[in-house]
Amino acid sequence: MTALAEESFAADPSPGQHYLNRELSTLDFNGRVLALAQNRDMRLLERVKFLAIFATNMDEFFQVRVAGLMDQLAAGIGTAPDGLSVSDQLRAIRAGTEVLLERRARAFVEEVVPGLSAQGIDLCDWRSLGADDREWASKVFHERIFPVLTPLAVDPGHPFPYISNLSLNLAVIVRDPSGGERRFARVKVPPLLPGLLAMPDGRRFVGLEQVIAAHLGDLFPGMDIESYHPFRVTRNADLTLEEEEADDLLVAVEMELRRRRFGRAVRLEVDATMTDEVRTLLTRELDLRPEDVYDGPGPLDHTALWQIYQLDRPELKDEPFVPVKPFRSGGAEGEAADIFSAIRANDILVQHPYESFADSVEEFIDQASRDPDVLAIKQTLYRTSGDSAIVRSLIRAAERGKQVAALVELKARGDEAANIGFARALERAGVHVVYGLVGLKTHSKIALVVRQEGEGITRYCHIGTGNYNASTARTYEDIGLLTARPELGADLTDLFNYLTGYSRRVDYRRLLVAPSTLRPRMLDLIAEEASFGPAGRIVWKLNNLVDPGIIDALYQASQAGVRIDLIVRAICCLRPGVPGLSEGIRVRSLVGRWLEHSRIYYFGDGPGSDEMDSGRFYIGSADMMERNLDRRVEAVVPIESTDLQGRLREVLLTELADDVRAWALSPDGAWQKLPVEAGINAQQRLQDLAVARVRRRLESDPAVAVTEVVAGAPAR
């Protein structure tokens, strides 16, 4: 394994500062993702996958976080809670990004590319192709690529063209041989075409920009091609809405999406061989500073590596895992379980991707859409997959005359256009579609099914930590509760009335709801643990810990003697292990095959809660960030079943024991990969535990279909 802890950008040699910088902590997280691509123990195409993920993460980081800092810089405002000015943060981001790009280049050029070649997968340079290959590629160029290209020249009659966000381009200097006049031209690499051209053998690939560059003479006939250089532009992609002034939120979001295409440039990526002349021209025309320009070896757009990862080479990837079925099968072979009977019998906890999303959450909504006794379905949709079974089920339910309400959050960053599309489809089917609340994002993951049973009704609920998205449910680790508890059904009814009408109820029976009750209740729970002193215990698993008020409360609990373990996947602004401040707090991060996305909050009940044998468990959609606590609608639910508490305890203890994928945060803010001693991979162990639960179910009930067990075994 390569050295993984070469730098930590949020590190501060002055631990007297109480907070770590959020933006630099994000860079640290991206460094942990990149470390997976550097890990020689991982299968080769998994390393390729993490190179692509790292590239996508960095694109989003610049589009949103760096863009926000540049807006603050232009406005002359903004100082982070850790005391860094905007200029200081931008300088630190520049330095940290350069270090990450150097690490990426070493992994890609020195290890991944040669490793792929040894496996018969070659990322070729155009110059290395033989005559026959070039002839074939030229034929493909003229038939499928040339008709799509639009070269744009810059001269007195043609202003500098708009360069779209994340587009890969060629900057071309052409010269008129008759008069010697030189001109700049831009050629955009078509984003709808694969970024790599696969040669006829399916084993060799050449970058599409290289194929285009080799045929620039066809795009500029009669001109001399002096030079060409690939470049890529990143723009501000955050959505800015004046919601109070919008008469129609749907129309306002559509207009803002069109405006966002023209967001200001925040980063320019160039080929290391680009001339100073072209670099200066691009920097000036894009209104960027020299420090906003990044160069380096290798392709500029590493997201194209997804094309390599998709190759049918199973021996170079992790063994596929088929999620287990979380319910006992029905009577006939292949018949789905009666979910409503199962939920009435006991609360059910499902953890994806170890347990099937299709056979739990999607099946829950599907059965509700078909069941003649179901009267109504209400659901929030934040991000969902393009071909969503849940959207189809909601449409079916509406067409069958059921009352169906869907709150579609149009402001989910990156999914606005998709959400508009399926929202319109829902409306056409007769679903009551609501687009969220002014000033708040609806981030809660909740569904309510109202069913006629006997002389009354029963309300069935799903409350989860992850989106209703079948695609991400295969790669994101998330947890959901299915329950028919009357008090939770009543709470969800009140919450949906708040979301769709004018209700302002805040005294929920069991739910903790942001922005009303979640923050004060979390602070009360932390303070209660502090009152126990050294007998107090807090264990949290979450994505991000940023909010200063929550961090300060955790510091106070630590100073009272409370033992605190935090499993934070990405951003952590708390500084652990500082004497007199946070010496009772440990922070770790797990980065591995599945993206750790669930939020679990545990609070002990005094003596005897060291190993979480007793206490209170909560799951939900909220991280501990100001936006989640104050500017989003979030739902966090207590898990009251002793059996399900045991499941959550198992998850937390397993992740605290991991030493294969775990990193630890030091008092100075540096992240260090833990040494492998026990060899515990929490994700593998939780996967094995899911399969073991199904096997026990089979042993206790021989009528259970054998396919339930086989489905959970690694596919060979």
Active-site residue list? 443
Residue whose pair of structure tokens reads 């149009």 in the numeric block: 410
**SS percent in the chain: helix, strand, coil, step 5:** 40, 25, 35
Q: How many CB atoms lie within 10 A of CB 394?
A: 29
Strands 403-408, 432-434: pairing kind: parallel
Q: Extract the runs of DSSP E, i.e. beta strands, from 41-126.
A: 122-124
Distance CA 382, CA 364 (A): 18
> For residues 18 and 575, is the Cβ–Cβ distance under 8 A?
yes
Q: How many CB atoms lie within 10 A of CB 313?
A: 17
Distance CA 635, CA 624 (A): 13
3-state DSSP assignment of residue 212:
helix
H or E element, residue 274: none
Omega cis (within 30) before 515: yes
> For residues 443 and 633, is the Cβ–Cβ distance under 8 A?
yes
3-state DSSP assignment of residue 45:
helix
Output the DSSP codes for 139-202: HHIIIIIGGG---EEEBTTBPPPP--TT-EEEEEEEE-TTT--EEEEEEEPPTTS-SEEEPTTS
Residue whose pair of structure tokens reads 């069941």 in the numeric block: 371
Token pair of 240, please? 């800015």
- Distances in Å between the Cα of 3 and the Cα atoms of 32, 278, 661 are 12, 37, 14
Query: How many residues belong to the chain?
Result: 716
Distance CA 216, CA 288 (A): 28
> For residues 353 and 474, is the Cβ–Cβ distance under 8 A?
yes
Distance between alpha carbon 651 and the CA centroid of its chain, in Å?
21
Omega cis (within 30) before 353: yes
Q: Extract the runs of DSSP E, i.e. beta strands, from 309-455.
A: 348-352, 374-381, 403-408, 432-434, 441-442, 445-453
* Residue 232 bridge partners (DSSP): 168, 269
| CA torsion, ordered 556, 668, 677, 103, to nearest 10 deg | 140
3-state DSSP assignment of residue 554:
helix
Which residues are CB-neighbours of 390 under 8 A, at least 6 positions away? 361, 362, 365, 379, 381, 384, 468, 470
Distance CA 429, CA 217 (A): 53
Nearest to 301 by CA among 32, 51, 45: 51
- Distances in Å between the Cα of 189 and the Cα atoms of 109, 167, 281 are 23, 7, 20
> For residues 169 and 187, is the Cβ–Cβ distance under 8 A?
yes
Q: Which amino acid is at 603?
A: F
Token pair of 464, please? 């989860």
Strands 616-620, 600-603: pairing kind: antiparallel
Supply the DSSP symbol for 660: S
H or E element, residue 456: strand 456-464
